[in-house]
Amino acid sequence: MKKLNFERRVPYSPDQMMRLVGDLESYPDFVPNCSGMEVQQGFESDQRLARMGIQFGPINQAYTSRVTMDKTRGTVSAHAIDGPFTHLDSIWRFVPDGEGTNVYFDIEFGFSNPLIATVAEPVFMAKQEEIMDAFMAEAARRYG
């Protein structure tokens, strides 16, 4: 199991950042290697099921996550329920800081196939920083 933690400060509100991260349908437009996204309403009003396609060169994979938006706690969390992972859990937290927001992104993952893990794990880990940067750039585009 691998764990990664990222933190950024942005001049936008927690609500704006939560709306951006919760806008799952737009991920193919700006998230690196996201080749597609299908979103369905979940069992709860704050939950959705999201099937995300990811592409690294000639390799295409897809997985489904249960995504929960908790406006009270200022979080967006995702738990993969299928795909190439033994587990994949992430949480975005948005903490007010003066006239901006501290954005925290924590992710834990493991691949189910050891051969795929050997090849994909280093690339997947490196891409997470790129993904965080893509969200910051998209926030600047939308709100800046």
Please give the model's pTM, rounded to 2 decimal places: 0.91
Measured between alpha carbons, how far is 75 from 22 in angstroms, rounded to an integer?
Answer: 10
DSSP code, position 98: T
Which of the four CATH numbers 3.30.530.20, 3.90.700.10, 3.10.450.50, 3.40.50.2300 does domain 2-143 have? 3.30.530.20
Whether residue 93 is predicted with pLDDT greater than 90 in this model: the reply is yes
Tell me which amino acid residue 142 is.
Answer: R
State the DSSP string of 40-72. Answer: EE-SSTTEEEEEEEEEETTEEEEEEEEEEEETT
Render the burial of 64-98: b for 16+ CB within 10 Å, e for the rest. bbbbbbeeeebbbbbebeebbbeebbbbbbbeeee
Give the pLDDT confidence of 23-76 residue by residue, as tens digits.
999 999 999 999 999 999 866 678 999 999 998 778 788 999 999 999 999 999
- The residue extents of the domains of the chain are 2-143
Task: Name residues whose C-beta falls within 8 Å of residue 62's C-beta, 6 or more positions apart in sequence.
Answer: 36, 51, 52, 53, 54, 83
